[in-house]
Amino acid sequence: MRTVDLIVKKKEGLALSREEIHFLISGYVSGKIPDYQISSWLMAVCLKGLNETEQADLTMEILESGEQIDLSSIPGICVDKHSTGGVGDKTTLVVAPIIASLGLKMAKMSGRGLGHTGGTLDKLESIPGFQIQRTSEEFLNQVREIGLAVVGQTANITPADKKLYGLRDVTGTVESVGLIASSIMSKKLASGASHIVLDVKVGDGAFMKTLEDARILAKAMVKIGDNCGRKTVAVLTDMDQPLGCAVGNANEVEEAIETLKGRGPEDFQELCQAIAAELLLVTKVAASKEAARKMVDEAISSGRGLEYLRKMIIWQKGDPRVIEDYSLLPQAKRVIPVLAPKGGYVKKVQALRIGRAAMILGAGRQTKDGVIDAAVGVKVFAKVGTKVNKGDKIAEVYGNDLNVEEAVQEVGSAFEYSMEFIPKHKIVLDIVS
């Protein structure tokens, strides 16, 4: 078998067998196949695509390139959720404790963020003392005891994906549904959960800009999950504006806690309830959508979801007092209001501009080794459909020493207005199962 023959085969639009995909992936990971040949194959994939069988085979080859988490010692049903990323997305911090409080097990490995804000791990590390690195024994024991852990991904998970993604990023081969789906699903399968709910973002602040493209990606990932024996559902959700109000790290933790107290922003609370409900439905813990939503609402109103977040913080050595005292979270030196320049209805809040403002303040990182300032960020108070008067406070910028004035300008320019009535955005756009 020769690499060049497989490149030509894919260039001609022909499907590769499992053995041929294994030859390419194992050869690349071992160093036998050089970057330039895999780059050529990746470009052929981008141009000609992968069929469903190829996507499943590629996923399994990436999965089997490294360690897989064995959750069989944990009693009950282990679930996972994944978001394709967005501005203000702190959903795991709410959904995971709700789900654990309802009897499912959330053994979640998360990553750090590259881009406008930190990832889930960075947000959690804004809680004083919180430890995201746990041994395998500590991780499994915590899930057995409280049904919940959110920890850092081990270095041995899907090493093939790390190599492939690094190459795709510099060769213009990121935008391929088959490659994206295989990358995401290999990591989800490696994490060991039997049931997975995917939150696929759509719009200005998302990788998939249109509902049609997002639906294609969602269907591909659901098919891979099902073909690999994992029950998988995808929820397509709006990212044409920031999710909730808070964008940053510490202030997103605060908003997540407020949501578990039943006081979260309407759109964010709706999304968390929808994702949690789908996890209850896919595992058959709830028999209907109405029953699932009722269970989720009760987990919030009773305070049980909040209590499970407290348990996780304690188990992972964080300071649980942050649940009542937000001043224990990192605090920005300056809080600058952003005012509406005119009256009318908010027509648009450009998620990418808000994300860029958070980034230049220091809330995100541009390289893997970048340092995040957990205190800084943005809060958006006027969402699409809100009626405002000139001079109303539409947002706040939380800054320290970096680019505060530039961030204020960026936030202000993210808003567009209309004198005509603008309806609110729907947060859940579709469900693929």
Of 54, 122, 52, 133, give the one whose Cα is nearest residue 93.
Answer: 122
**Beta strands 377-380 and 334-339: pairing type?**
unpaired
Please tell me what DSSP assigns to residue 208: B
Strand runs labelled E in 205-311: 231-238, 246-248
Quick check: 82 and 199 in contact, CB under 8 A?
Answer: yes
Quick check: 289 and 162 in contact, CB under 8 A?
Answer: no
The reply to whether 183 belongs to the active site is: yes
Burial class (CB in 10 A: 0-12, 13-18, 19+), 220: buried
The reply to whether 288 belongs to the active site is: no
The reply to whether 116 belongs to the active site is: no
Q: Which among 10, 81, 116, 187 is annotated as catalytic?
A: 187
The reply to whether 327 belongs to the active site is: no
Rg (CA), the chain: 22
Strand runs labelled E in 19-173: 78-83, 105-110, 148-152
Q: Which among 83, 183, 186, 191 is annotated as catalytic?
A: 183
CA distance 298 to 170: 47
Quick check: 384 and 241 in contact, CB under 8 A?
Answer: yes
CA distance 413 to 73: 52
Strand runs labelled E in 242-360: 246-248, 334-339, 344-349
Q: Which among 116, 168, 230, 231 is annotated as catalytic?
A: 168
Quick check: 149 and 107 in contact, CB under 8 A?
Answer: yes
> For residue 11, what are its two tokens?
């260039």
> For residue 59, what are its two tokens?
């996923």
Q: Which among 57, 80, 81, 82 is annotated as catalytic?
A: 82
Burial class (CB in 10 A: 0-12, 13-18, 19+), 282: buried
Phi, psi (deg, nearest 5) at residue 281: -75, -45
Strand runs labelled E in 251-392: 334-339, 344-349, 377-380, 387-388
Of 272, 282, 289, 275, give the one whose Cα is nearest residue 194.
Answer: 282
The reply to whether 82 belongs to the active site is: yes
For residues 78-96, one letter each, b for 16 or more C-beta atoms within 10 angstroms of the residue's C-beta and e for the rest, the string is bbbbbbbbbbbbbbbbbbb
Quick check: 88 and 270 in contact, CB under 8 A?
Answer: no
Q: Which among 161, 238, 267, 373 is annotated as catalytic?
A: 161
Write out the catalytic residue numbers.
Answer: 82, 161, 168, 183, 187
